[in-house]
Amino acid sequence: MELISDYTFNQWAIFLLILLRTGALFITIPFFSSSNIPAMVKIGLCLALSFMLQPLLDISADAYPREIIGFSLLAAGELMIGVIMGLCVRILIASVQIMGQLAGFQMGFAVANVIDPIGGEQVSILAQFCYLMAFLLFLILDGHMLIIGALKESFVYVPPGTFGISSSLFETVMEQAGSMFTLALRIGAPLIGALLFTQVAMGVVAKTVPQMNILIVGFPVTISVGMIFLALIMATMVSILSGRFLGLGELMRQLLRGM
């Protein structure tokens, strides 16, 4: 590998484009975009990964524009590629968080929120628990390695300067955005349904036994039912998410083919 001081203009241009795509990807995927990670760590990781990728890629910068406007448009395309790839990963994790948000609201956890360090907003405790569990599963299945592999493949499918928005790309992104809600309901349907029937049962009890303080009795019953069904659907949740995470590489390739 050549020394940095020996880099030519073309080599610096290639490195900058790789860095832009890498940085855009890593600032949109979960966990790495968290404000808890120091900015110097993020910058250092992106720089190191870009330096490692550059010798592995066969990219020629001879035809790249040297004026500021032309190169800025080229850089904007690289940023868009990284953001789109990271957005699809974020959608998968967000589906589990949506399920936890819906279930937590029915269990009465809506008033007990915590600050999500990723999004910087308040979410229910159950939603944060489901998010952490999904991200842990993502790491166990080497999802981070799939992301790095997809980043390397992206320069083969979409070399710098060839980015374009096609109808197939738009359809794939919209399909993934819609699947975020369907996946959340698919995973949490047993839990949400059980909590719904519990609420109906509490309403019937409140009408038939008016002497009972349903507020005092209902909260522990609802929470207990929610916890029991959450434990029961854990295996199903892991199975569904594992299939989605393992298919992440093919999803990335489908996105890249549409660019």
In the block, tokens 């990964």 appear at 49
Predicted local confidence at residue 117, as pLDDT? 52
Q: What is the pLDDT of residue 4?
A: 53
Question: What pLDDT digit, counting tens, does each position of 159-215 carry?
Answer: 887 777 777 778 888 888 888 888 888 888 888 888 888 888 888 877 787 777 777
CA dist 28 and 45 (Å) reads 14
- Give pLDDT, residue 229: 86
Flag whether pLDDT at 116 surpasses 60. no
- pLDDT for the residue 241: 85
Rounded to two decimals, what is the model's pTM?
A: 0.76
Q: Report the alpha-carbon distance of residue 150 to residue 240 in Å, rounded.
A: 21
Q: What is the 3-state secondary structure (H, E, C) of 112-147?
A: CEEECCCCCCEEEHHHHHHHHHHHHHHHHCCHHHHH
Q: What is the pLDDT of residues 97-115, one digit of tens each?
A: 888 888 877 777 666 555 5
Predicted pLDDT at 115? 54
Predicted pLDDT of residue 121? 59
Rounded CA-CA distance 160/82 in Å is 12
